[in-house]
Amino acid sequence: MELRQLRYFVRVVELGSISRAALDLNLVQSALSQQISRLEGELSTRLL
């Protein structure tokens, strides 16, 4: 687990949307989704 993944997850929750968080974080939506999926895999649970 990387701190970056946690920061990304928190931003998605704060903004209520992966697409809005991607814009805010200057990432493409697919890259952000991939990071969230990796975090979910490492935690073995669905977060969003």
In tens, the pLDDT along 3-38 reads 999 999 999 999 999 999 999 999 999 999 999 999
CA angle 12, 14, 19 (to 5 degrees): 35
The pTM of this model reads 0.91
Per-residue confidence (pLDDT) for residue 23, from 0 to 100: 98
**13, amino acid identity:** V
Q: Is the separation of the CB atoms in 37 and 1 below 8 Å?
A: no
**18, amino acid identity:** I
d(CA 14, CA 48): 12
Look up residue 47 and give its DSSP letter: -
